[in-house]
Amino acid sequence: MSVSSRYREAWEGFWREAPDGQGAVFWDAAPAQTVALHLALFEPKLRDPGLQMVDLGCGNGTQTRFLADRFTHVVGADLSAAAVDHARQADPAGQATYRVLDATDKTDVEALHAELGDANVYMRGVLHQADPDDRQPLIDGVATLVGERGHVFLVELAEAARPVLGALAQDPAGPPPKLAPVFRHGIAPGEVADDAVPEYLRAAGLTVLASGELPLLTTEFRPDGARIELPSKWHIASRAT
């Protein structure tokens, strides 16, 4: 299966309209506040740090470039060709490679795995954006990329994020400027039950090795100047050895 054309076009529209530059979109916080915190948890668990690292749902590549400073081979993959264009333009030195990938498409994912071999996968905030019927196929795709030797670090909005986002969307003054395009393009976040995420991983044949909670920082601020943070949960998983 593959994602719907409506879903793909929603993301293309969002990324075609998105400004260039780190921090220009709602979730594009600086790597020191995002992937660096995750990597401190992820890296000690890696069975083989020399595997390719895939940043799945890379967007404009902010986190991908950080990963490319620390791993020899990094691939940024995204459903949206416009997002991949942003990522390539922001990486003129070619620290990482970038490609369009529908991670719910079994054929596409198997082809990438055949090319890269087993990989370590970093995926931040992608699952809740997928349609409910696409979530298990997406995690199945992650499991294909991981293979026998790789690990995945998956961080996802917690259920507790929904009322926070709901309050922002319904603010009488309107949603924050960087959140408004998310709603306008029809890619408003959906809720994934906290206990569903490890079940998706297990159903894909992966064993959850560690889990925890961290706030997911955004690039927006409240009127009082406080940065908007969203509750999130993370999981590290791999095939059982």
Which residue's structure tokens are 């954006």?
129
Query: Which pLDDT score, from 0 to 100, does residue 186 have?
Result: 78
Question: Residue 24: is its pLDDT beyond 70?
Answer: yes
Query: Which pLDDT score, from 0 to 100, does residue 168 have?
Result: 82
Q: What is the pTM of this model?
A: 0.94
Q: Quote the Cα angle for 190-192-193, to 5°.
A: 140
Question: From CA 134, how far away is CA 103, in angstroms rounded?
Answer: 9
- Beta-carbon count within 10 A of 185 CB: 18
Please, is 18 exposed, middle or buried when counting C-beta atoms within 10 Å of its C-beta (0-12, 13-18, 19+)? buried
Beta bridge partners of residue 215, listed in sequence order: 231
pLDDT over 90 percentage in the chain: 65
Summarised one tens digit per residue, pLDDT across range 160-219 is 998 888 888 788 877 778 888 877 877 766 778 999 999 999 999 999 999 999 999 999
For the chain, give every domain's residue range: 5-238
Summarised one tens digit per residue, pLDDT across range 92-139 is 999 999 999 999 999 999 999 999 999 999 999 999 888 888 999 999
- Amino acid identity of residue 38, one-letter, is H
Query: Which pLDDT score, from 0 to 100, does residue 3 have?
Result: 59
| CATH 3.40.50.150 at 5-238, yes or no | yes
Summarised one tens digit per residue, pLDDT across range 27-36 is 889 999 999 9
Query: Which pLDDT score, from 0 to 100, does residue 183 have?
Result: 78
Q: Is the pLDDT higher at 50 or at 167? A: 50
Summarised one tens digit per residue, pLDDT across range 78-101 is 999 999 999 999 999 999 999 999
Question: Residue 1: is its pLDDT beyond 60?
Answer: no
